[in-house]
């Protein structure tokens, strides 16, 4: 069993408990009662590089990264630093996240919010919207073609956007064929947790010209952001470097600045 497979087992177990508490029909009702989702596209296609800043407590590869007593306060710092969107990890077993974190961030910022989790059912998409998310993460490696197509449809019907994540050439092809509008290339292999930043440069040419291209993982500072931008990234999603920096606002500012001055 790969790391991804193991994570998904836990995700399904936790999901079953939440769905038993709030059935799908009720969650759909909650989702449709929310204010309209914020479109992240204008911020992601602006000049320079866009930063998707992540609220990330821990990870399977690094363990505990940072004590984040108030996710909303961290999100405010990210927004003040110029972040285009906030990513909130809601998987609890390996990443220490929760939907409560998503709620707190949504309450505090006016920019788009991404629910970053391992989406394996439609329920989670409605759940994301019910908690105020504007984007959801869809990991190609975790889904069949039929599931990916259906989940993209549900996302669009709710007025949301999807960050469709790929790790290799075959997944890049599958994402392109679904008409994905925002495609993330993750340098971290979710089966082994190894990181190879060259993956982005290898795959970016396979993505549709019109797609917004997001580089994920491997960022330790501004120089890595600059490298991704030079390789063709429109946006960079980063969490670890920010939560460990001690000065998240300044860290985001520096990542944006290094590209604007290049």
Q: Which residue among 58, 59, 91, 165 is the active-site one? A: 165
Provide the CA 9 distance to its chain's centre, in angstroms: 20
Q: Which residue among 91, 127, 171, 216 is the active-site one? A: 216
Question: Is residue 165 annotated as a catalytic residue, yes or no?
Answer: yes
Whether residue 214 contacts residue 234, with contact meaning beta carbons closer than 8 Å, is answered with yes
CA distances from 134 to 82, 183, 259 (A): 18, 16, 26
pTM, 2 dp? 0.96
pLDDT in tens, the chain (262 residues): 788 899 999 999 999 999 999 999 999 999 999 999 999 999 999 889 999 999 999 988 888 898 999 999 999 999 999 999 999 999 999 999 999 999 999 999 999 999 999 999 999 999 999 999 999 999 999 999 999 999 999 999 999 999 999 999 999 999 999 999 999 999 998 878 889 999 999 999 999 999 999 999 999 999 999 999 999 999 999 999 999 888 999 999 999 999 999 9
Residue 117's nearest CA partner among 98, 132, 134, 103 is 98
Phi/psi for 52 (5° steps) reads -100, 105
Question: Is residue 216 annotated as a catalytic residue, yes or no?
Answer: yes
Whether residue 89 contacts residue 45, with contact meaning beta carbons closer than 8 Å, is answered with no
Q: Which residue among 58, 127, 217, 240 is the active-site one? A: 217
Question: Is residue 56 annotated as a catalytic residue, yes or no?
Answer: yes
Q: Which residue among 50, 54, 58, 87 is the active-site one? A: 54
Question: Is residue 217 annotated as a catalytic residue, yes or no?
Answer: yes
């Amino acid at each position: 069993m790969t790391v991804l497979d193991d994570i998904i087992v836990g995700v399904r177990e936790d999901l079953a408990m939440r769905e038993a508490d709030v059935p799908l029909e009720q969650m759909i009702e909650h989702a449709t009662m929310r204010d309209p989702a914020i479109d992240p596209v204008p911020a992601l296609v602006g000049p320079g590089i866009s930063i998707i800043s992540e609220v990330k407590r821990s990870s399977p590869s690094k363990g505990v990264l940072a004590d984040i007593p108030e996710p909303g306060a961290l999100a405010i710092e990210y927004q003040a630093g110029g972040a285009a969107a906030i990513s909130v990890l809601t998987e609890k077993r390996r990443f220490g996240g929760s939907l409560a974190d998503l709620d707190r961030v949504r309450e505090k910022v006016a920019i788009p919010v991404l629910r970053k989790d391992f989406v394996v059912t439609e329920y989670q998409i409605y759940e994301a919207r019910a908690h105020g998310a504007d984007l959801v993460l869809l990991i190609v490696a975790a889904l069949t073609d039929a599931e990916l197509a259906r989940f993209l449809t549900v996302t669009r019907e709710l007025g949301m956007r999807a960050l469709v994540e790929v790790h290799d050439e075959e997944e890049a092809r599958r994402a392109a064929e679904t008409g994905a509008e925002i495609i993330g290339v993750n340098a971290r292999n979710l089966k082994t947790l190894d990181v190879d930043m060259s993956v982005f440069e290898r795959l970016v040419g396979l993505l549709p010209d019109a797609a917004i291209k997001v580089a994920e993982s491997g960022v330790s500072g501004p120089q890595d952001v600059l490298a991704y931008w030079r390789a063709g990234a429109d946006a960079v999603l980063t969490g670890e470097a920010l939560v460990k920096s001690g000065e998240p606002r300044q860290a985001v500012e520096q990542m944006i600045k290094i590209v604007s001055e290049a």
